[in-house]
Amino acid sequence: MAKLWAGRFSKEVDETVNAFNSSIAFDGRMYRHDILGSIAHATMLGDCGIITKADSETLIKGLQEILSDLEDGRLSLDPTAEDIHMFVEAELTKRLGDVGKRLHTARSRNDQVALDVRLYLRDEIKEIQTLVYDLVDALCAMAKEHLDTIMPGYTHLQRAQPITLAHHLMAYANMLSRDYDRLTDTAKRMNYCPLGSGALAGTTYPINRQQTASLLGFTAPVANSLDGVSDRDSCVELAAALSLLMTHLSRFSEEIILWCSWEFKFIELDDAYATGSSIMPQKKNPDITELIRGKTGRVVGDLTTLLAMLKGLPLAYNKDMQEDKEAIFDAVDNVKLCLRTFTPMLRTMRVNKDKMRAAAAGGFINATDCADYLVKHGMPFRDAYKITGTLVASCIDQGLTLETLPLEQYQAMTPLFGEDIYQAISLETCVGERKSEGGPAPESVSHQIALIEAQMEAWER
Ligand code: ARG
C-alpha cells in the first residue's frame, strides 16, 4: 500500500521494515472506534468552518459507508497497510478523491491512536463488568444454597476453624465486587478525550475540542496536549485492575483444583467443564482452573510489558507506544475468556457436603471453641488456651477427638467443664455462634449476601 507520508522520501521502504513497522494485524480490531472518532472529527471540522459543510458531510457519509462495508464483509482490512488509521484514510481517499484528503486536517495519528484505544477499552471494560456481575451473581446464588454447609476454614492450609461454604464463597464475591468498582474507576479516569492534541502541540486551526469530546461521550477533553498523546495511564491502570481480578480468580482456581483432588473431594466438576487424560483412564482434570491460574501470569506479564515499555520514554509520542496494544488487548481477551468459562463451571459443579463436614470434624477445628467455653465460665483466655492444648495432645495420644473425649478427662483438667461442653464444641454451635459481623453464622452470611446484592443493584450496567 502506498505510504501517505511518501513525499519526503526518495525510495520505497524496505519490505521487512514495512512488515516490522505495521500494526494493522493487531490495531485493525479498532476499526469501528477509529471511524467513529473520524466522524466526530469531520463533524467538528465542518461546524468550525475549517472545511466546508459539504466536505464534512461527504466525509461523514464516506466513513459511514466504509464502516458498514467492513461490518458486512464487503471490505476487508489490507494487511499491508501501516495501521488502521492509514488504512481508513487511504480507503476514504480512494472512494472520495480530494475530499478524503481533508479528513486529517488538524489531527495527527498520535491523538487519533490515543483516542481509538480509549474508545475501544471503554467498551471492553463494560463487557468485562457484565461478566464480573454474572460471576458475583453466581456466587450469591450458590452461597444461598450453602448457608449451612459446614467446611473447614484454613490458615497455612491447616484446618483452623469451622466456616461454611457460603462464607467462603462470599469472600470471593467481596473481592470481585471491588474488582468491579476498580474497573468503574478506571473507566472514569480514562474518559477524557485526547483528540485535538494534534501531534503533540495542539493546532493553529480553530478546533472545538469540547464538541468532539461530547460527541464521543467523554467527560471533557484531556487538559494538556502533550499529556493527551503521551500518556498510557489508562492501559496501565486497566492492566493493573485486570491483574488483580485475575489474581482473585487464580486463588479461587487453586482452591478448586485442591477441592476436586481425591485428597479433598469437596466438589465434583461437571463433565462438561473437566477434561480427561490421554493415557490414564481414571483421570478427570480441572484444566479450566489450571489454565486460569496460568493465564494470570500472562496478564500480570501484560501489565509488566506496559510499565517497562513506558518507564524510559521522553515526552511525547514514541513508536515504542505501539507496543501497548498487543499487551492490553491480550489482557482484555484473556480475562473475558476466563470469566466466560469460570462462571458456568462454578454454576454446574456439585458440592460434596458430607466430605466437607467430615473434614471439618477432624483436625480439632473446634479447639478455639473449647477454650472459649472455659473463658465464658470465668477463666482467663491464656489459661483456657493452655488447658485446651493439653486436652488436644491427650486426644491425639489416645486416638480420640474433643467430641469423644470422656467428661471425666475434661473435668480432671478443671471442674469448670460440664456436660454441656459437647454441645458447645459441636460444629453446628461453633459455626452458628459466630454471629459477629462478617462471620460464618448463617444469619451473618445472609447479611453479607444482602450487602453485595444491594451493591449489585447500584452498579449501572
Ligand atoms: N500505529 C501507531 C501506534 O499504534 C499509530 C501512531 C503513529 N504515530 C507516529 N507518529 N508514527 O502507535
pLDDT in tens, 34-48: 999 999 999 999 999
Check if 156 is active-site: yes
User: What is the pLDDT, as a whole number, of residue 9?
Assistant: 83
109 lines ligand 1 (CB under 6 A): yes
Cα(75)–Cα(79) distance, rounded to whole angstroms?
A: 12
Which three three-digit cell numbers place residue 270? 461437571
**pLDDT tens-digit map of 140-185:** 999 999 999 999 999 999 999 999 999 999 999 999 999 999 999 9
Strands 192-193, 220-221: pairing is: parallel
Chain centroid to Cα 441, Å, comes to 30
**Above 90 in pLDDT, residue 445?**
yes
Phi, psi of 194 (to 5 degrees): -80, -15
Going by C-beta distance under 8 Å and a sequence separation of 6 or more, which residues neighbour residue 149? 164, 165, 166, 351, 353, 356, 357
113 lines ligand 1 (CB under 6 A): yes
User: What is the pLDDT, as a whole number, of residue 281?
Assistant: 79
The model's pTM is 0.94
* Mean of per-residue pLDDT scores for the chain: 96
User: What is the pLDDT, as a whole number, of residue 284?
Assistant: 83
27 lines ligand 1 (CB under 6 A): yes
Cα(311)–Cα(40) distance, rounded to whole angstroms?
A: 32
User: What is the pLDDT, as a whole number, of residue 382?
Assistant: 95
| Residue with CA nearest ligand 1 atom 3 | 322
Q: How confident is the model at residue 461 (pLDDT cuts 50, 70, 90)?
A: low
Find the catalytic residue in 10, 156, 278, 436. 156
322 lines ligand 1 (CB under 6 A): yes
**pLDDT tens-digit map of 90-110:** 999 999 999 999 999 999 999
Q: 10 Å Cβ neighbour count for 362?
A: 10
Going from the Cα of 374 to the center of ligand 1, the distance in angstroms, rounded, reads 71
Going from the Cα of 443 to the center of ligand 1, the distance in angstroms, rounded, reads 57
User: What is the pLDDT, as a whole number, of residue 274?
Assistant: 86
Going by C-beta distance under 8 Å and a sequence separation of 6 or more, which residues neighbour residue 423? 429
Q: What is the mean pLDDT of residues 242-256?
A: 98
**Above 90 in pLDDT, residue 279?**
no
56 lines ligand 1 (CB under 6 A): no
**Above 90 in pLDDT, residue 363?**
no
For residue 30, the one-letter residue type is M
Cα(85)–Cα(79) distance, rounded to whole angstroms?
A: 13
**Above 80 in pLDDT, residue 3?**
no
In a 10 Å sphere around its CB, with 0-12 CB exposed, 13-18 middle and 19+ buried, how is residue 282 labelled?
exposed
